[in-house]
Amino acid sequence: MMFALMGSPGVTPLTEILAVFTISFLLLVAVKSFWNRVPPGFKRLPGPRGYPLIGNILDLGKNPHLTLAQMSEKYGDVMLIILGTRPILVLSGLETIRQALIKQGDDFVARPDLYSFQFIADGQSLSFGRSSKEAWRSRRKLARNALKIFSTSASPMSSMCPLEDSVSKEADYLIAKFQELMKEKNRFEPYRYLVISVANVICAMCFGKRYTHEDQELLSMVNLNNEFGEAAASGNPADFIPILKYLPNRTMKAFKDLNQRFNALVQKIIKEHYANFDKNNIRDITDSLIEHCQSKNLDVNANVQLEDDKIVNIVNDIFGAGFDTVTTALSWCLMYLVTYPEIQKKIQQEIDQVLGRERKPKLSDRSVLHYTEAFILEVFRYSSFVPFTIPHCTTKDTVLNGYAIPRDTCVFVNQWQVNHDPKLWDNPSSFNPERFLAADGSGINRVESEKVLLFGLGKRRCIGENIGRGQIFLFLTTLLQKLEFSVCHREMLDITPEYGLTMKHKRCEDFQIKLR
């Protein structure tokens, strides 16, 4: 990310230099004044020196998660950097992050007032928004309850819950599609098909319908979600240099537009739900939210009513969070399976011993497929494909590890650093699922598993975590029960993560399968 300061035509070089110097001086004074609010007896925050106007932006490079992890070795688990004109608190180290997000959760629960956040779900997003604490808690509780109902309760027509049933159908479609591609080309790229199947599972839960893989409405949702991830990953300079929000910005205009288009698409689907809503037949999460609106129920604790227009925002959050995380995780799973074929064989042997090759996997099988669960945990840890949580913000002046932190401080949480911390992991650069198995063979080592950070911690922990973990398990076990994956040239694989809101690997067109 690079910002250029452009002079205006007709301005003399001396005047321009003086203007830049004056602005830089005032900004430095303002930043210094902000961080001088340190009570006597408390240590001043450590961190690298920045440049006027841009702070440490140039220091971060193309892989901020790696740079900040290296900086933490010098400056510690609590450090200060400056992005543009905004001070940023960067947290590393598992115990420090647990202290901030769990033990002092109320102090770090807010979201910062980043300019771009106001355009996501009209500023009312559960994940990105800065709504009041009462409203946020009420909507989060409502969304969590809706997710739980449609991911745990068995349907009347099946012994499976809606999530299991939906994933099973989509996994069967993927198996058939992969076989078809093998007959046509003898090789294929799996991501483009995974993404549609995962989106279909989310659509089934949110909207009660399965789309064909060529349906334009489904493809529009997938494309808009991909665009959002790319736009968010590229960053918005106006978030850190506020004056830039008043200047023309093509990237920001595109970001606003894609959010408006996605909102419009979801509004259309919700309008259709209202037209044929039946309170005696709650079909999906959208119906569940509509029922809440129409019943005029108030949260007894927060006393906040969910308005009709907030349904769109909650559905947006559920779709966006569940879709990208699951797709990216499954894509990494397949890459590691073909990179380490001996691990793939161990997973398949476990599936054969516990499930056989005919019974469909269920969520309850997670407790008995120990090696499979260990593999998924190692994928989470090793790839760390969500390198940072969504930024946090302090709600009041507070103290962390002896450092005074002012109110409204933007906070970055480096999950990648925790997942690769040599103080926590033996040989962290090695891909080794066995690290998560209990020594006595009884299952997963819970102490080790709880060290992995991917879904955040504390009050802002991802509400779709259980749904996401369940989908990844069900898709993976169903595919490996029937198929064996390989690539034409394993030595050519590139599993280097490409930095983004969620980190992806380079697409591989050389996947092959054979039926087991």
- Binding residues, as ranges, are 462
SS3 state at 86: strand
> What does the alpha-carbon distance between residue 219 and residue 213 come to, in Å, rounded to a whole number?
8
Identify which of 278, 142, 284 has the alpha carbon closest to the alpha carbon of residue 203. Answer: 284
Contact call for residues 508 and 493 (beta carbons, < 8 A):
yes
**Pick from 160, 474, 166: which is nearest to 330 by CA?**
474
DSSP E strands: which ranges in 84-121?
Answer: 86-91
Residue located via tokens 């690079």: 2
Pairing status of strand 410-413 against strand 86-91: parallel
Sign of CA dihedral 421, 427, 428, 429: positive
Single-letter amino acid code for the residue at 352: D
Q: Quick check: 467 and 163 in contact, CB under 8 A?
A: yes
Q: In 57-192, where do the E strands start and end? A: 78-83, 86-91
Q: Find where tokens 């110097």 sit.
A: 21
Residue 324 near residue 502 (C-beta atoms within 8 A): yes
| DSSP three-state, residue 403 | strand
Do the Cβ atoms of 120 and 256 come closer than 8 Å?
no
CA quadruple 263, 268, 270, 274: dihedral positive or negative? positive
Among the listed residues 467, 516, 471, 437, the one whose alpha carbon sits nearest the alpha carbon of residue 361? 471
For residue 78, the cross-strand partners are: 91
CB 209 within 8 A of CB 171: no
Q: For residue 267, give the nearest of 308, 305, 231 by alpha carbon.
A: 308
Residues with Cβ < 8 Å from 492, sequence gap 6 or more?
A: 510
Helix then strand then coil, in percent of the chain rounded to 5, is: 55, 10, 35
Backbone angles phi, psi at 195, to 5 degrees: -65, -35
**Using DSSP, how many helices (H) and how many strands (E) does the chain show?**
16, 8
DSSP H stretches of helix in 36-102: 57-60, 64-75, 94-98
Closest by CA to 263, choosing from 121, 128, 126, is: 121
Residues making up the binding site for heme: 462
Q: Two tokens at 475?
A: 């898709």
Residue of 368, 405, 337 lying closest to 96 (CA atoms): 405
The pair phi, psi for residue 270, each rounded to 5°, is -65, -35
Contacts of residue 334, defined as CB under 8 A and 6 or more positions apart, other chains included, come to: 190, 194, 485, 511
